Chain A
Amino acid sequence: MTAATGRRLHPATIGGFVSLVVVTALALLPIAIIVFTAFKPVANSVLFAGGVTLFALVFDSLAAYALARIDFRGRRVLLVAIIATLMIPFQATLVPVYQLVSNLGWVNTFAGLIAPRAADAFGIFFLRQFFLAIPRELDSAARIDGAGEFRIYRSIVLPNAIPALMTLGVFIFVNNWNDLLWPLVFTTEQSMGTLTSGLTLLTGPGGIIPYGVMMAGSLVAVVPLVIGFLFVQRRFIESIATTGLK
């Protein structure tokens, strides 16, 4: 197996790398457990929102690549069908989705929280727009070298679409981080509660909201997002600068 640059990886390096990963994981595991147990709702929020974002970016970009770069029969129809899935409000599909997730035995699991959102029509369409804007000349050079579709996807299209991927990633992460109803419906146990659902427990008797506490809690909920966005935003600018003027 050769890397893209042509260097050969010795088996010894691979073995060393794997060992390092395993040992580091073991070393950090107790720390992770401490953090996650102390801040379980935060951990749940991170796992849920992060999980959805990760899977959605991967699956959406794969689908968007196919819809943008591969000319196959029925592409237009599929595109319309995917868009149409956005047009039904989730209140109408919540009960059937829950029944499905329950039949799969995925209630109160992260699989049940993440899987239904692991691909979304908006993301597919959004990425398709950006992929279409990447010049095909870049592909043709690689195709002449004999690169297959997946190589083009991975090495040419994705790197050039980093601003779009980051934008979509932020959007998906924020929406799922702040989502209240979804985690509440799909998890009935307190141990699976996310940060936002935990905030609802602050509601006092008679529906009175203790404003000070609620605001403090909301601030805690938004700080990770702002930090995350600040970080992403810088990379956003860097990637604009490197992909540069086309």
Chain B
Amino acid sequence: MTITAPRRRPYRAPAPLGGRARAPHRRRPGLKASVFLFPAIVILGAFVVWPMISALRLSFTDASGFGAVHWVGLENYVRVLSDPKIRESVVNTVIYTATFTPTAVLAALVLALLVNNPRMPFASFFRTALFVPFMVSLAVGAFAWSYLIDPQVGLLNYWLGAVGIHLGNVLEDPTLALPAVAMVAVWKSFGFYFVIFLAGLQDIPRSLYEAATVDGANWWNRFRFITVPMLSNTFAFVLVFAVIAALQAFDQIYVMTGGGPYGHTQTIVMEIYESGFRRLELGFASALSYVLLIATLLLSLIQFAFFSRRERDLS
């Protein structure tokens, strides 16, 4: 330990999710901002916003993408709110989100904390290995998992059977299929959240931990009073995007169960896909998409507000 304290830069609390208030610039901020924003706004405007507006227009019609188009007003939206199959897919999506989000986010957080420990051996190996599932294409990963849980030849069934747990045909089981698909998604996605948490953890100055240790804090106190507040913005960020991703679950369900068994893993985006591409009811698919968009937006804004307020209370 050195005798003279090292020169420290003044500590600055991390940025809250909504941004910090600051003194306004004096010289035409709007113009400067426009230059920076220009390319992104052009791309997003042309290739995302414009198609979204087209989709909105389509949602009030019976269009199939080609051929005759007729205005039907709110008929599609009424059907979205009343069709029992849609309601079932909403329930499935909610259950899926509630299963996927906490698991993926907490697993990523715990693993990041473990790997970030400076005394952890082989940290860079773990870092890469844990990220590999994310890099495999989803179709291949889902297929590998289907193989693992195959009732006839699956390794997982074999091992679990050895300890007395008989899963049967998981993907055909009405109660087990949805959690199973959610877990495959967790396996595939946690690596990315893990890396984000790692980056967020690296941002926390080690000197804070050292000072706390000197003051006699144990690992739980260090976690509670240093890690948690400093990571809360990253945590909020990951949570918001994990929820958005879960609400839009499609690929793994398409590959593993196709929405089955008899609709038990049908999610909202599967319905959108089937309506638009299988039944050629693009108008209805667009209406369903907008209902999903509004729900997701509200949910995200609530999360924003919740975490911003917490940040203000903490600092």
Tell me the A residues contacting B by CB distance below 8 Å.
58-60, 62-63, 65-68, 70-73, 75-76, 78, 80-89, 91-93, 95-97, 99-100, 115-122, 124-126, 129-130, 132-133, 135-137, 149, 153, 163-164, 167, 170-171, 174, 178, 180, 196, 209, 214-215, 218, 221-222, 225-226, 229-230, 233-234, 237, 240, 245-246
Contact = CB atoms under 8 A, between A and B. Distances in A.
A26 to B, nearest CB: 31
Contacts of A132: 15, 19-20
A88 B202 contact: no
B224 interface: no
Given A78-B37, A95-B276, 9 more contacts: A62-B37, A91-B276, A92-B272, A97-B51, A124-B40, A153-B36, A174-B135, A215-B140, A246-B9
Given A89-B250, A92-B272, A82 B132 contact: no
B39 A245 contact: no
A245 B25 contact: no
A56 to B, nearest CB: 9
Contacts, number: 196
Q: Is the interface of A mostly helix, strand, loop or mixed?
A: helix
B277 to A, nearest CB: 7
Contacts of B58: 96
B296 A87 contact: yes
A164 B202 CA distance: 11
A233 B128 contact: yes
Contact of B43 (A87, A116, A174): A116
Q: Interface centre among A84, A121, A125, A222, by most B CB within 10 Å?
A: A84
Interface in B99-135: 124, 127-128, 131-132, 134-135
Given A84-B293, A167-B195, A222-B137, A118 B124 contact: no
Given A82-B44, A91-B276, A149-B32, A100 B50 contact: yes
Contact of A246 (B205, B248, B285): B205
Nearest to A225: B135
B213 interface: no
Contacts of A70: 25, 29, 32-33, 36
A92 B289 contact: yes
Contact of B206 (A121, A222, A226, A245): A245
Q: Interface centre among A85, A121, A126, A230, by most B CB within 10 Å?
A: A85
A62 B128 contact: no
A93 B51 contact: yes
A55 B195 CA distance: 22
Contacts of B203: 133, 246
Contacts of A226: 128, 132, 135
B306 to A, nearest CB: 16
Contacts of A67: 37
23 contacts: A62-B36, A66-B32, A70-B25, A70-B33, A83-B297, A83-B300, A88-B289, A88-B290, A91-B276, A95-B282, A96-B51, A97-B47, A116-B43, A118-B43, A119-B40, A124-B40, A129-B233, A133-B14, A163-B202, A214-B140, A222-B135, A230-B128, A246-B9
Contact of A91 (B43, B127, B269): B269
Contacts of A95: 65, 276, 282
B33 A66 contact: yes
B297 A91 contact: no
B216 interface: no
Contacts of A121: 44, 48
A136 B10 CA distance: 12
